[in-house]
Amino acid sequence: MWGWKMRITSVIAAVAVVFVFVFFLSFSVVSAAAEDDGDPGVIVIGYQPSTHQVAAMVAAEKGWWLQDLRRFGVEDVKLNEFATGPPEMDAMLIGDIDVAYVGTAPPIAAMYEGLDAKIVAGVQVQGSAIVVRRDLADEYREKGIAALKGCKIGTYPAGSIQHTILSKYLADNGMDPEKDVQIISQASPSEAASAIGSGSVDAVFLPSPWPAKIESEGSGVIVEWSGDIWKNHACCCLVVRGELIRENPELVKQIIRTHINATEYVKKHPEEAAEIFAKWQHENVSVILRSLNISDMQWIHDPHVLIDSGVEYAKVIYDLNRKRYEARGIHLLQADDIFDTSLYDEVIAEFNVTPATPTTPAPTTAPATPTTTTATPTATPVPGFEFWIVMISFAAVIVYMRGGRRNEGA
């Protein structure tokens, strides 16, 4: 009798050991999958709190991103907000985001620092404004940018669209951006708005809706739009990591399709776009609508529109950093280094329209599913692995018990 008790105790212990073993083995497999570089089932899109990039928010609010990308194995689409373009590109440099709605200048500046990415679509042109203190408005209207000589101007950090255009505008008018004015890099548009409100800067150069917001608060007066400074200049664009373009071009093409659909929807429904933006940014809808009405911004998606001014941005950024770049053997970027328009052109060819006036299908009707895709599903443990471990272990226990019975009978 005692021998059977010992055997039963041994069986229970063996089964417990098996389950503990299976648990930890399963945990280690799942952990190894989670620690793999990146999550192929998740696409992360960067964007900023500007109406320039409202197409990204509209597509997310409507559920189009996940709906359109799910067939490529994408299980989640996350939107990460950044205050300005340079930190957004820092995030792309280290692999934290896959796609970015961002000004055209920041990715170019980041490409000089080694960013592996391309501009694949346009987002909008123009749409920023110089806003001055109320007491400076008349002088600016009389003298233009020369009225700001000796002043403090708040704008986005070096490498941004606003910093690049402002630097060029000052230089084109015989002013040294580093000596004749003091350009104050602001960490966010709200910080810049607070700065002109408090009088710590004399003027700001910001994208919509911030100029209209500052005016509505009585902190400043809009005196010049960026389209008057540089007609049809490139502003925001759609940037995608080089690895994603090379390894999954069909997925990138769908990202471009969804962006085109969202952009066309925004152009046809600006009031709804304003409501969505106001909801996401906790802003007053009437202020956002006024911003859309007075801004010289134009939403686009054709990347070809951005090429000329994009190449010019590359020259301005290179000149501002010439000594450092030359010391490191960095050469001036050309259009092919910055843009990849091939996937956009393929998408437009599917719609059988000219790039300038795309007519896209409704956002809820995705184009035909590609026959092949290189999208990789999220790693999971081998199906049935734990089941077979348990079955083998129980078989071993049964053999052990039968063996015990034969031994007692002998």
Q: In whole angstroms, what is the distance from residue 150 CA to residue 5 CA?
A: 94
Mean pLDDT of 246-260: 97
The CATH architecture annotation of domain 42-125+233-351 reads: 3-Layer(aba) Sandwich (3.40)
Sequence-distant (6+) residues with CB within 8 A of 270 are 289, 292
% of the chain at pLDDT higher than 70: 76
Half-sphere exposure of 235 (CA within 13 A, CB side): 29
Q: How many CB atoms lie within 10 A of CB 99?
A: 25
The contacts of residue 185 (CB under 8 Å, 6+ apart) are 155, 156, 157, 158, 163
| Predicted local confidence at residue 306, as pLDDT | 97
Place of tokens 């941004």: 160
What's the mean per-residue pLDDT of the chain?
A: 83
| Structure-model confidence comparison of residues 379 and 117, the more confident one | 117
Whether the ω angle into residue 211 lies within 30 degrees of 0, i.e. cis, is no
Q: Which has more pLDDT, 376 or 197?
A: 197
Which of 3.20.20.540, 3.40.50.1820, 3.20.20.70, 3.40.190.10 is the CATH number of 128-229?
A: 3.40.190.10
Q: Which segment of 11-20, 72-81, 237-246, 257-266 scores lowest on mean pLDDT?
A: 11-20
pLDDT at 189 over 70: yes
Question: Is a pLDDT exceeding 70 seen at residue 178?
Answer: yes
> Is 80 exceeded by the pLDDT of residue 358?
no
First to last CA, the chain: 15
pLDDT value for 387: 40
Residue 352 confidence class, pLDDT cut points 50, 70, 90: low
Q: What's the pLDDT score for residue 96?
A: 97
Task: Check residue 248 and give its pLDDT.
Answer: 96
pLDDT of residue 193: 95
Nearest Cα to 165, choosing from 249, 229, 88? 229
Q: Which has the minimum average pLDDT: 31-45, 187-201, 310-324? A: 31-45
Provide the 10 A C-beta neighbour count for residue 249.
18
pLDDT digits (tens, 9 = 90+) for 268-278: 999 999 999 99
pTM, 2 dp: 0.76
d(CA 266, CA 338): 27
With bands split at pLDDT 50, 70 and 90, how would you rate the model's confidence at 351?
A: confident
Residue range 51-70: mean pLDDT, rounded: 98
Judged against a pLDDT cut of 60, whether residue 367 lies above it is answered with: no
The enclosing H or E element of 131 equals: strand 128-132
Question: Does 128-229 match 42-125+233-351 at the fold level?
Answer: yes
Q: What average pLDDT does the segment 223-238 reach?
A: 97
Strands 152-155 and 203-207: parallel
Tokens of 76: 């989640």
* Strand partners of residue 153: 183, 203
Domain limits, the chain: 2-36+384-409, 42-125+233-351, 128-229
pLDDT at 400 over 60: no
391 has a pLDDT exceeding 60: no
Q: SS in 3 state form for 215-278?
A: HHCCCCEEEEEHHHHCCCCECEEEEEEHHHHHHCHHHHHHHHHHHHHHHHHHHHCHHHHHHHHH
Taking residues 91-110, report their average pLDDT: 97
Burial of 103 (0-12, 13-18, 19+ CB in 10 A): buried
Residue 301 and residue 259 in contact, taking contact as beta carbons nearer than 8 Å: yes
Rounded distance between C-alpha atoms, residue 262 and residue 65, angstroms: 10
Polymer length of the chain: 410
